[in-house]
Amino acid sequence: MMKRVEMTVASVREIGRDTFEMILQNAYIACNAKPGQFLHLLVDSRTLRRPISIASINQENDAVTILFKITGNGTKWLSACQPGVTLDAIGPAGNGFSYDEATMETALLIGGGIGIPPLYGLGKELSKKGIHIKTILGFQSKEYVFYEGMFQEFGKTYVVTNDGSYGNQGFVTSVLDQVGNFDRYFSCGPIPMLKAVTNKLSDHQGSISLEARMGCGVGACFACVIPTDSEGGYRKICSDGPVFAADEVML
């Protein structure tokens, strides 16, 4: 169940250009969060909270890790929070990744930019369950690359940069035919990337996680809806998602 809690900043570090990793402590969140869920964080007393996905969960230390990119004043303020500062968070929000582990021997993780973080927590969970993991990570360019080594611990990891300054040049879809067989894919990243991924992998089962500008973050305000078909159906990204089956929503 979602609660409003105070989380204490344990550490903050820049791990790529404009990209920060922050460890936050709160026993309730660490105990209840699942990969794919998010925190709705109050930043600098601003009107709207910032939804930020949970990258990993460490129950032993009552901690969760979030990763975020500076895109405006709210995330800039967040990046300047020092250890010891407490943040007001609503969480764990939304629904995490779900899957049938019995039918999955190999999973493919496909992440783009700041969409990569929730896939790390998922990878950790799948890896513990003995599921074989392959990963494709896409970034704008070399300076933005993060977590490559951490995904390599799960299995073969392909890195792609749009400008070719690191790894393969192109998009995450450029290396799809190199990865070989897998039973199910999990993807998170910008909408155009998710469109390309779901189109190319339409013969595979998959889950996608979406980001959106949110209002309430709890399902009440209808700010972050996404259509499901042409008949007026919809899902709320904050409360029905942010994780959806690949064929559930219209990107």
Partner 1 sequence: MTNLSVDLPGLKLKNPVMPASGCFGFGREYSEFYDLSQLGAIIMKAATGEERYGNNTPRVAETASGMLNAIGLQNPGVEKIIANEVPFLAGYEVPIIANVAGRTTEEYVKIASTFYKTKAVNAFELNISCPNVKKGGIQFGTDPDMAADVTAKVKAASNLPVYVKLSPNVSDITAVAKAVEQAGADGLSMINTLTGMQMDLSGRRPLLANQTGGLSGQAIKPIAIRMIYEVKQHVSIPIIGMGGISAAEDVLEFLLAGASAVAIGTANFQNPYVCLEIIGELPHVLQKYGFDSVSAAIGRGHYAA
Contact positions vs partner 1 (CB under 8 A): 1-2, 4, 42, 45-49, 74, 90, 212-227, 232, 234, 239
Q: How far is the CB of 14 from partner 1 (least distance, A)?
A: 22
H or E segment to which residue 122 belongs: helix 117-128
Closest-CA residue to 117 (of 239, 211, 244, 219) = 211
Nearest to partner 1 of 105, 229 (CB atom): 229
Q: How far is the CB of 241 from partner 1 (least distance, A)?
A: 13
3-class SS of residue 17? coil
Where in the chain does DSSP place strands (E)?
Answer: 3-16, 19-25, 38-41, 50-58, 63-69, 86-93, 106-112, 132-139, 157-161, 168-169, 184-188, 205-209, 225-227, 234-236, 243-245
Q: How far is the CB of 219 from partner 1 (least distance, A)?
A: 5
Nearest to partner 1 of 201, 238 (CB atom): 238
Nearest to partner 1 of 166, 234 (CB atom): 234
Nearest to partner 1 of 47, 103 (CB atom): 47
CA angle 190–197–135, rounded 5-degree value: 90
**Is-contact 212 238, C-beta < 8 A?**
yes
Q: How far is the CB of 237 from partner 1 (least distance, A)?
A: 9
Q: What gap in Å lies between CA 240 and CA 198, rounded to an integer?
A: 19
Q: How far is the CB of 110 from partner 1 (least distance, A)?
A: 23
Sign of CA dihedral 78, 79, 80, 86: positive
Nearest to partner 1 of 12, 42 (CB atom): 42
Q: How far is the CB of 25 from partner 1 (least distance, A)?
A: 22
**Is-contact 114 69, C-beta < 8 A?**
yes
Nearest to partner 1 of 94, 155 (CB atom): 94
